[in-house]
Structure 1
Amino acid sequence: MPDRPLVVVLLATHDGAAFLREQIDSILGQQGVDVRIVVSDDGSTDATPALLDELAADPRIVQLPAGAYGSAHANFLRLIRDAPVDGAAAIAFSDQDDVWNPGRLAAQLEQLRTADAVSANVIAVYDDDRRVLLDKAQPQRSLDFVLESAGPGCTFVLSPAAFDLVRHVVRTDPEADAAPIHDWLVYAIVRAAGMTWHIDPAPVIDYRQHAANDTGANLGWSQARTRLRRMRSGGFRREAAVVARIASRVAEGEQRARLAALAALLERGDARARLALLRGIGSLRRRRSERIALAGMLLLGVW
């Protein structure tokens, strides 16, 4: 039987014992590939450490020494910096509380034949049994990565070359730790370098929604109010400025200058900066409705 491609899966955990076994079972049960799960635990105080010790009897599961990182972003950056990825045909990211479709990795490896990185839509699954498609597969824009991710990071699969670039930036860029969230940062690094990213419209996981989600589906009025408050405070704009600066140090030529200029605009909140952002809004968001909403906030001075 020919060797099957190895996918290294980076799994960040924190107090996830209620969901972790089902998640890991769905990863180990992937069809057509071999997997190595590398786990980093962020100071869990529930049964997660004991469960990981039990599951690590399987040689496909590698535990990094547990630490205290304080956020999913910091924990994933630790995995990016330190996880052993030798021999991998691809590197994937995993949350602790989802369920992967059995053919997910095999399908995404096929897509990596013509792309440097891939992501996909998901089905948000709620405690009341609702299932909602989260569609992130709109056509990409030249600078959409400055303001948004390619979708949930738990759908990301990177080629070794793309992962090596991300690892280098995370290890060396002085602002990597200050970026808002790992998936947005990873998408920005890969895109800014001119690598290709495919967003598949087919959902690949059940994306569990519950009270303990670190980052969830971002749907509903409550989430909309939270986003608006973040916009009005300037927090989101400053986060995007960090991403743009990191991306500018990855890019080359005209793209580098364009990103540096965009970062400078995002640091400002004055009317002239807002008008300059408004002129380039067509390049900043994939979804038309979000471009319209952002244009309105720029015109009203809300953002």
Structure 2
Amino acid sequence: MRRYAWQSDRAPRADATEGIHMTDEHAESAPALPLVVVLMATHNGAEFVEEQTRTILGQQGVEVRLVVSDDASTDATLEILRGFGDERIVILPPGRFGTPQANFLRLVRDADVSGAAAVALADQDDRWHLDRYQRQLALMAEHELDAISSSVTAYWVRPDGSERSEYLEKSQPQTELDYLLESAGPGCTFVLTPQLFAAVREVIEAHPLVDETVPHDWIVYAIARATDHRWRIDPTPTIDYRQHDSNATGANTGLRPALRRARRLASGDYRKQCASIATLAASLATGETKSRLERIAPLFQRSDFASRAALRRLVPELRREPAERRWLDLVLRLGLW
């Protein structure tokens, strides 16, 4: 594994967890199915977490270990998870993290992923297709990938219990610099090789430029792309992506998300996050990629005409979706971002 100049020497991690750990006897008799370690962050998820967990534990063709980090839930979330009585569920000592991204970064740092053939992320409120990992692991092997994510089927439950669904495409062709402005789709579709996960963990544990205000999935994607890891976004949905009023992030459709994005642009928070990601990526990259990122990163830290003009020239490389490119070009031209 690559060692960085900023890397600190740390004592081995003590994985203090609640749950049943594999004994040597169990390890010797473990089935040949690949083990996927799933990292799930929870917070007051009692309404949905049971259904989500059943679709995780029911994955076909793989073994699963579900590692949970709970952020100070005051409802029955942990009681529901304990109620499964399943040794595949490991609950880390609960803490108070404040945001979903901080909770997920805690999982990246502390989860026991020993023996994993792959490491994945999970929200607390979706439904996974039961053949999800069979498909994703097969694609990773076929294309020699370091990571994979996918498009999703967003769905809304109506008051009468019926559902409305919509395909959300996340698989537009990746561009040279898309990771500076966006993630590879929802983090709950991510699957990483253990080697890439170890590299991500190394950065998140010790790198001084990791900004915990940035969404965790965007950080993971940026680390992977800046260090030349191979990532594919599959057009076939692997999850039903539940939409409700408590979503930390959700489907980017309709008036409400549009207003939320406009407020975010006006506040300057998104530009600051882009600057953080670009600076982190530049510190991790090598060769010409590093030199280019070092030139680009300062553009996000200014809002003058020259910096906006330079970013406009980069628009085709900064966003995957054509409509998003047009939107970005417009707000840069108008001086709104």
Coarse TM-score class (shorter-chain normalised): over 0.9
2:319 touches 2:325 (CA, 8 Å); kept in 1? Answer: yes
2:243 touches 2:250 (CA, 8 Å); kept in 1? Answer: yes
Aligned equivalent of 1:268, options 275, 296, 302: 302
Q: Secondary structure of 2:157's partner?
A: coil
Residue of structure 2 in register with 1:18 after alignment: 47
1:64-88 superposed Cα distances (whole Å, 9 cap, x missing partner): 0000000100000000000000000
Structure of higher CA gyration radius: 2
Compute the displacement of 1:218 (Å).
Answer: 2.1
Distance between the aligned counterparts of 2:81 and 2:128, measured in 1? 19
Residue of structure 1 in register with 2:270 after alignment: 236
Residue of structure 2 in register with 1:43 after alignment: 72
Q: Secondary structure of 1:4's partner?
A: coil
Compute the displacement of 1:30 (Å).
Answer: 0.4
Residue of structure 2 in register with 1:197 after alignment: 231
Q: Would you say 1:33 and 2:67 are equivalent positions?
A: no
Residue of structure 2 in register with 1:211 after alignment: 245
Gaps of 5+ in 1: none
Residue of structure 2 in register with 1:80 after alignment: 108
Q: Secondary structure of 1:130's partner?
A: strand
Choose between structure 1 and 2: higher helix proportion: 1
2:211 touches 2:276 (CA, 8 Å); kept in 1? Answer: no
Residue correspondence of structure 1 range 91-170 to structure 2 within 5 A: 91-113=119-141, 114-128=144-158, 129-170=163-204
1:215-258 superposed Cα distances (whole Å, 9 cap, x missing partner): 11121111101101211222211111111111112111111122
Distance between the aligned counterparts of 2:138 and 2:31, measured in 1? 17
Distance between the aligned counterparts of 2:54 and 2:200, measured in 1? 28
Q: Would you say 1:186 and 2:220 are equivalent positions?
A: yes
1:179 touches 1:243 (CA, 8 Å); kept in 2? Answer: no
Distance between the aligned counterparts of 2:238 and 2:277, measured in 1? 27
Distance between the aligned counterparts of 2:187 and 2:31, measured in 1? 31
2:38 touches 2:122 (CA, 8 Å); kept in 1? Answer: yes
Distance between the aligned counterparts of 2:238 and 2:70, measured in 1? 24
Residue of structure 2 in register with 1:66 after alignment: 94
Q: Secondary structure of 2:47's partner?
A: helix
1:110-164 superposed Cα distances (whole Å, 9 cap, x missing partner): 1111210000011111022110111010000000000000000000000011101
Taking a change above 3 Å as real, the CA distance of residues 35 and 2 of structure 1, as seen in their structure-2 partners, is closer
2:102 touches 2:212 (CA, 8 Å); kept in 1? Answer: no
Q: Secondary structure of 1:115's partner?
A: coil
Distance between the aligned counterparts of 2:94 and 2:267, measured in 1? 35
| Equivalent residue letter for 1:242 | S
| Equivalent residue letter for 2:327 | A
Residue of structure 1 in register with 2:15 after alignment: none
Identity of aligned residues (%): 52
Distance between the aligned counterparts of 2:177 and 2:213, measured in 1? 17
Q: Say which is worse superposed, 137-146 or 289-298, in terms of deviation.
A: 289-298
